[in-house]
A = this chain, B = another copy of it.
């Protein structure tokens, strides 16, 4: 029936359904609408009004009049039969004055519903994510304060219920100022059904139920607006196994060819060769250069086709104009991955050139990274396929960036903080390989325990969400989404030609996918460095133990900012802490052990915090004193944490060190020993702990 309605409207060249058509769709999906009927005479309107129950609303029904109010085609609150009759005639006069040629099907007589809470439920077709469902409170809350939440369609019943709590004014629906609470189950069901409707019928581009009146009994969509059109194009996706097979050859290649290898210093083809060799890559390296016989002690070949045996990866270090024929050869050779360093494609307006190489790669089944990238690193294979500095601090975080500049910042930060990295990958123009492909590899890569991605857009929002949801069950996925704000989004547009979606949509959907979103570049880098170091928490009870009362206050501020919960300390535990601290120290939470205390006070309280099962995470505030100098504190805490871990008391511990410059060394020592510590900041350690918690919640490890 829905199919018929839509096809009829499309056949008539319409982009909108009429109100009765919209109502049919609602009925088919169990979405309540007010009692109503279509009248074609004033008498019929009056009769219907009495049947449905007065007061009523009258609305013009015409395929040619979309903005009914503007046309004078709506009258609200008609209370008597006489008013309905008069109203009927008046609307006809208005409508003819507005558009004399309009076909008028009649006038809709609708029960006036306006009890309970006014809410908006809708669905739109997002360029990145496809069908998404929106929910918000009606009136100024949505229109002025933009208090609205989005989810991918279809929406499960649980997600629909979560949407009710996801708006800032959520409390309103629970009933404030003596108002009746809304029927949450009914409202959630309505949201779920809208999600189902637009998922079942991709031709529905937009649904607006506005207002929906939700009271204790149920939820009724008082007005229904449905737009139809071309369904969004399906994004082609490769099977997971296929992606994995190619990505594994790319990250763990047995042979790498360098297209445009050079012996000449300063050339990209020289830097790539040097980094491959100096980085310690143990596979075969084949320099390709039509003018050389040998480069850096290795036999050079005129073409990749001349190379004996298989080649897994070809790193391109030649100008854009020479790429296409070389890529043909790479395809013929059966290479798995083309690492397309050259710029001069879509980012400079050369969209056709990019399209050309995408087609060559696709024809041959070659996966292409880039173009317009710095290359990639994979430390477990000592692989530095890039023109930048080699990187050798092996570790467990994989980082990717859409921008080369951000990639360089990742590299510099990694080197200066000695961040343990499994991979750094530039995706650049993302002509082929994108974040979904990389997530698919990192998901099953035992060398990678966390993933951090800088991105400006997503080619396939749903593909990303699917991949992220799988990965997040085991490993944190940190995302820095640039173009967060309206102005930022504008800049993204000018840079990549990609349309940056509305950030609220991204924000809600990334959260729904379990992704930890970093608010800025430095946050992404710090999360990437710290999250693999911290064990996962097992519950929400966070305790602050501090030598500086002043830090305790600031750490408490940070706890709230990070969405964490200061544990309410039970009496027996409070007494246990008090036994270790001076009588004027403050137990409770923060536990203020006071400034002049010896190392044993830190040791005793931290040990208690780690060993008591009711506590799930510790935030330490250190104050530099002569009695407990920074390195004494650091070594002591590292020892206590290690001892308790050995006993099975594995909890995240972060620390803020306030003191003279020795706290820098102490923070580094702690970091190396599994305690995420920073000097001169009370915010950063807690923000990082908050990020770990966001992941743990998404992975279902808490509650």
Contact = CB atoms under 8 A, between A and B. Distances in A.
Interface string A473-512: 0000000101111111011101110000000000000000
Given A171-B144, A494-B586, A405 B553 contact: no
A606 interface: no
A216 interface: no
B624 A408 contact: yes
B172 A553 contact: no
Nearest to A271: B626
Interface residues of A, number: 98
A677 to B, nearest CB: 13
A548 B490 contact: no
Interface stretch (A236-244, A332-340, A396-404, A433-441): A396-404
A389 to B, nearest CB: 5
A169 interface: yes
A227 to B, nearest CB: 21
Task: Give the top 7 A-B pairs by smallest Cβ distance, nearest first.
Answer: A403-B550, A405-B548, A488-B557, A348-B584, A485-B560, A495-B549, A409-B658
A317 to B, nearest CB: 13
Given A495-B550, A520-B681, A681-B521, A488 B556 contact: yes
A409 B660 CA distance: 6
A664 interface: yes
Interface of A: 139-141, 143-145, 168-169, 171-172, 176-177, 266, 343, 347-349, 388-389, 401-406, 408-409, 411-413, 415-416, 454, 456, 480, 482-488, 490-492, 494-496, 519-523, 525, 544, 546-561, 566, 582-584, 586, 588, 590, 592, 595-596, 621, 623-624, 626, 658-664, 679-684
Contacts of A590: 491, 494
Contacts of A411: 659-660
A492 B408 contact: no
A490 B556 CA distance: 9
A405 B595 contact: yes
Among A483, A549, A661, the most chain B Cβ lie within 10 Å of the Cβ of A549
B412 A483 contact: no
A661 B405 contact: no
Contacts of A586: 494-495
Among A416, A491, A590, the most chain B Cβ lie within 10 Å of the Cβ of A491
Contacts of A176: 140, 143-144
Given A488-B560, A547-B405, A623-B405, A415 B660 contact: yes
A135 to B, nearest CB: 17
Given A406-B548, A412-B661, A659-B412, A482 B623 contact: no
- When all copies of this chain in the complex are counted, the total is 2
Among A519, A553, A561, A682, the most chain B Cβ lie within 10 Å of the Cβ of A553
B595 A404 contact: yes
Contact of A486 (B402, B491, B560): B560
14 contacts: A140-B172, A145-B168, A402-B550, A405-B546, A405-B547, A408-B623, A416-B661, A483-B553, A483-B557, A488-B553, A488-B556, A495-B592, A521-B681, A522-B681
Contacts of A490: 556
Nearest to A592: B495
A212 to B, nearest CB: 17
A548 to B, nearest CB: 2
A486 B560 CA distance: 8
A280 to B, nearest CB: 19
A347 B172 CA distance: 43
Given A522-B684, A586-B495, A557 B482 contact: yes
Contacts of A454: 550
Given A550-B406, A658-B405, A680 B413 contact: yes
Contact of A491 (B413, B552, B584): B552
Contacts of A349: 583-584
A592 B140 CA distance: 38
A560 B503 CA distance: 13
B588 A494 contact: yes
B556 A491 contact: yes
B408 A659 contact: yes
B412 A663 contact: yes
A584 B592 CA distance: 58
Contacts of A550: 401-406, 454, 456, 482, 495
Contact of A408 (B495, B555, B660): B660
Nearest to A349: B584
Among A405, A412, A582, A624, the most chain B Cβ lie within 10 Å of the Cβ of A405
